[in-house]
């Protein structure tokens, strides 16, 4: 008798909008996880992908195209089985997810920065009080608390560099890639808190129940990362 193929519910992969999406797509292509539409231009938030088959069933891949800050939530809550998100978001929100693979894309660093004149005066002394603009409230508060500095955290969603220019904050905590925006606005790095790159994350329940589908994806992406790293080394 011919083998019976049944179709499971879609295997959902949450992709981060923004700067890491361009680097994510070649890795997905290597793993033959290609969206049916151009995810960089479509207005859709959910896009179909290929049909993956095992010996006994098949599963449609589905992509969610969402804000990086939301990827953790979708994966943690089980609305997505897999996600791709920066380590900065994982450190800030500490979601209950598996983190099986460093994709080595979206490489940057999370830094404390400030106006050049202030930073060059030297590190803040224990007991100092300052205002800090950031979207990384937990990480910023922890850093300054560990150094005995009383920091008033001002939460911003972007354009952190503007806060010191208008006198709203003495420091910012933000991701830095090239440092060009800092320099253009008269800011410099004071210290690096963490090196950042994008990570593959997996919902624990999904991994337990759909390992036959998810594990091959992890391994194929691992191969893609290795090839990408080798190409960057030789270029």
Give the pLDDT confidence of 139-153 residue by residue, as tens digits: 999 999 999 999 999
Domain shared by 203 and 102, yes or no: yes
- The Cα 176–Cα 171 span in angstroms is 14
| Pairing of β 98-102 and β 82-86 | unpaired
Mean pLDDT over 180-191 rounds to 95
What range defines the domain where residue 117 resides?
108-196
Question: What proportion of the chain, given as a percentage, has pLDDT over 70?
Answer: 94
Domain shared by 99 and 205, yes or no: yes
Domain shared by 176 and 206, yes or no: no
- Other beta carbons within 10 angstroms of residue 67's beta carbon come to 13
Domain annotation covers residue 1: no
CA 72 to chain centre: 9
Indicate the number of domains in the chain: 2
Average pLDDT of the residues of the chain: 92
pLDDT given for residue 120 in this prediction: 93
pLDDT at 235 over 80: no
CB-based contact 193:112 (threshold 8 Å): yes
- The Cα 144–Cα 225 span in angstroms is 35
pTM attached to this predicted model = 0.90
pLDDT at 19 over 90: no
pLDDT in tens, 74-84: 999 999 999 99
Per-residue burial over 180-191, b if 16 or more Cβ lie within 10 Å, else e, is: eebeebebbebe
pLDDT in tens, 105-147: 999 999 999 999 999 998 888 999 999 999 999 999 999 999 9
CATH code for the domain of 225: 3.40.190.10
pLDDT higher for 209 or 228?
209
- Cα dihedral 84, 87, 90, 92, rounded to 10, equals -140
């Amino acid at each position: 008798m011919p083998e019976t193929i049944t179709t499971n519910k879609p295997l959902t992969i949450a992709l981060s909008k923004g700067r890491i999406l361009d680097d994510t797509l070649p890795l997905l292509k290597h793993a033959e996880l290609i969206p049916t539409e151009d995810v960089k231009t479509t207005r859709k938030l959910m896009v179909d992908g290929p049909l993956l088959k095992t010996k006994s069933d098949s599963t449609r891949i589905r992509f969610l195209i969402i804000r990086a800050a939301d990827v953790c939530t979708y994966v943690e809550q089980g609305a997505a089985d897999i996600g791709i998100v920066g380590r900065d978001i994982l450190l800030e929100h500490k979601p209950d997810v598996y983190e099986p693979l460093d994709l080595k894309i979206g490489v940057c660093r999370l830094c404390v920065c400030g106006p050049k004149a202030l930073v060059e005066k030297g590190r803040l002394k224990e007991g100092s009080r300052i205002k800090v603009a950031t979207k990384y409230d937990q990480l910023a508060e922890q850093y300054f608390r560990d150094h005995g500095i009383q920091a008033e955290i001002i939460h911003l969603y972007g354009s952190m560099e503007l806060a010191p220019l208008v006198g709203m904050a003495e420091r910012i905590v933000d991701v830095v890639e090239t440092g060009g925006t800092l320099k253009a606005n008269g800011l410099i790095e004071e210290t690096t808190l963490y090196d950042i790159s994008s990570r593959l994350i997996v919902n624990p329940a999904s991994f337990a129940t759909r390992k036959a589908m998810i594990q091959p994806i992890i391994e194929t992406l691992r191969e893609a990362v290795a090839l990408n790293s080798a190409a960057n080394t030789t270029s």
